[in-house]
Structure 1
Amino acid sequence: MSIPDDLRIGVIGAGGRGRLARHSHKPGEGSRLVAGCDIVPAALESFREFAGDDVFTCEDYRELLDRDDIDAVFVTTPDYWHEEHALAALDAGKAVYLEKPMTITIDGCDRVLRKAHEKGVKLYLGHNMRHMSFVQKMKELIDSGAIGEVKAGWCRHFVAYGGDAYFKDWHADRSKATSMLLQKGAHDIDVLHWLCGGYSKRVTGFGNLSVYNQIQDRHDPAERGDASWHLENWPPLSQTGMNPVLDVEDLSMIMMNLDNGVLASYQQCHYSPDGWRNYTIIGTEGRIENFGDAPGNCVVRLWN
């Protein structure tokens, strides 16, 4: 049996979240990184150190997409660049892994989906939490009928020490992120939909910028800001170096009516002293819930 050639992958946004693409670099085993693009020279240097000096690197994503030795592309740039980069990659006929959120507007999402359909090109959205072990176990138990027919579900997301990081760079600017609900809730709402077996048809919600707006220490607009996660950053109001523009919510709550009749809710808080996601799903014959969400520190409990 002949071994198929490796899928040749390019990365637009090789730094930061683009490091996730490195998991796909398995030369001779089915896929390898052949090109990387980033506007930060240090990110390209790190990419070459990992993938080898023979990989192609550039600062203009159009140079990467013009190459015919690339089969697929990771788009892992900041959210507000997703639409432009994804549309260009799909137009070039490249299969696309697009980090969530798809784009920061509904119209932008429609344009990306339309383009993928028109071009007949594969598009995969980075909803990685479906692959987390505790979520998979909950899905397995629900599908086995252990709690009967699902009727309700909710998620509480506590963003703990280090949660201030989102308020120190572009994530805090509504014009570039839309909201923290989109940035973080995209994961959890996808999981709720998956576990509950339906998609939202009606939604209502509230959000508030209730804590971080009180901090007056802001970094210079010309600086990038320290958006690293520092677990020792506590309490929230003692933080410094916040983004000059800070107009997204740090607390949000929504309720959803799914197309299969299930009711669901989602709450998110960015100044909690503990950090984890808690999912609860209730059916006609039982309830399932996780405590903790990290490997080695997570328990899934079932009552029926």
Structure 2
Amino acid sequence: MINFGIIGCGGMGRHHAKSLQAIEGARVLACADAEAGAAHELAQACNIPEACDDYRHLLDHEDIDGVFVCTPTFTHREIVVAAAQAGKQVFCEKPLALTVADCQAMLGACEAAGVQLMVGFVRRFDSHWGKVRELVRGGAVGRPVVWRQCNAGSSPKSPWYLYKDQGAGPLMDGAVHTYDFARHIYGDAAAVWADMTRLRRDRTAWDTGTAAIRFRSGDDLVLSWSWGLPAGVGGGSILDVLGPDGVLLFTTPPDRLPAGCPPEEYGGISIVREGGATQVAPFRKNNMFADMVRAYVNALTDGQPVPIPGEHGLKATEIACAVFASSEGRKCVELC
């Protein structure tokens, strides 16, 4: 039996607590949140024996083997370093940290303590995006490719997401999933061009921006993202992969799925080639959050490396920081 503590009892803390409940051989012994009410609410909802308002009390619990750090990004370094020094295995939500230096400090603390650090890049376990990766790497539309992701809306409800020194906005907190998954497809990034602006004047983070990232493979990622719109307002969206032989569309109308693929259980990627010839590549839908947590627990149980080690969090933060440096310096930023 592996015993866990949950630090941060908001949305992600609840997600992970519920996932752990469904895994034989895993148990949540305690939860902590600076808002005591949130901790007690999660404890009651998930039958967690102990709840407190100070994560350090949880780390003093000798029976806890590992922790899930689900707090705002600007708190990650302090908590992860303390957890490692307490000898706990660490799962940390994304982004790992807002700066490369903080990421390095977290990795160093875990290495010094002999514990593993995993980052919550849940898209690595998404069968939808996984099918896109399979198609790109299999040459479905040729190479090189350009992955385009464009979306716009209002910001998350918690204000810290749009303060520069707390959440740093969508090109850090939201796009970090895409930076990581692009690395998962292409390999390491080579250079970044970006430009950002601020539509909301009551926050300090850049809430709107565009970034073009060239990877060493010759493939590109192009992002345009905004959290600067009024509540309830959304812009248009693009999510596709362009290649010399066609395009991958991330969605397929349910009535175009192949026979034997009911839309309740399957989605599809549309592959459109010359002349409009269209093929649908189906995938079985999954609960990526539950699958990620299960893979993490299995790795710890079997004494194996965790699926997404902290180094991947560092690499994604390096790209995010290069995006900010490119915009603020009005220049291309090359990555080593």
- Flag structure 1 segments of 5+ consecutive residues without an equivalent: 1-5, 214-244
* Counterparts in 2 of 1:277 and 1:192: CA distance versus 1, 3 Å: farther
Q: How far apart in 2 are the matches of 1:281 and 1:114?
A: 39
Q: Is the 8 A contact 1:253 1:266 kept in 2?
A: yes
- Residue in structure 2 matching 1:131, options 125, 133, 151: 125
- Flag structure 2 segments of 5+ consecutive residues without an equivalent: 254-262, 274-336
Q: Is the 8 A contact 1:65 1:92 kept in 2?
A: yes
1:44 matches 2:1: no
Answer 1 or 2: which has greater helix percent: 2
| Paired residue secondary structure (2:21) | coil
Q: How far apart in 2 are the matches of 1:118 and 1:158?
A: 41
1:154 matches 2:147: yes
1:106 matches 2:100: yes
| Paired residue secondary structure (2:174) | helix
Mapping for residues 213-232 of structure 1, pairs under 5 Å: 213=201
Corresponding position of 2:10: 15
Q: Is the 8 A contact 1:198 1:259 kept in 2?
A: yes
Letter in 2 for 1:208: T
Corresponding position of 1:115: 109
* Counterparts in 2 of 1:48 and 1:118: CA distance versus 1, 3 Å: same
Q: Percent identity?
A: 26
Cα RMSD, aligned residues only: 2.7
Q: How far apart in 2 are the matches of 1:275 and 1:95?
A: 41
Letter in 2 for 1:263: D
Q: Is the 8 A contact 1:251 1:268 kept in 2?
A: yes
What TM-score comes out, normalization by structure 1 length? 0.76
* Counterparts in 2 of 1:120 and 1:200: CA distance versus 1, 3 Å: same
* Counterparts in 2 of 1:192 and 1:289: CA distance versus 1, 3 Å: farther
Structure 1, residues 115-170: CA drift from partner, whole Å, max 9, x if none? Answer: 2233332111111122223201112223333234x31222323133xx2435x612
What TM-score comes out, normalization by structure 2 length? 0.70
* Counterparts in 2 of 1:63 and 1:72: CA distance versus 1, 3 Å: same
* Counterparts in 2 of 1:132 and 1:298: CA distance versus 1, 3 Å: same
| Paired residue secondary structure (1:151) | coil
How much does 1:52 deviate? 2.1
Corresponding position of 1:3: none
Mapping for residues 205-244 of structure 1, pairs under 5 Å: 205-210=194-199, 212-213=200-201
Corresponding position of 2:179: 189
Aligned residues: 260
* Counterparts in 2 of 1:277 and 1:44: CA distance versus 1, 3 Å: farther
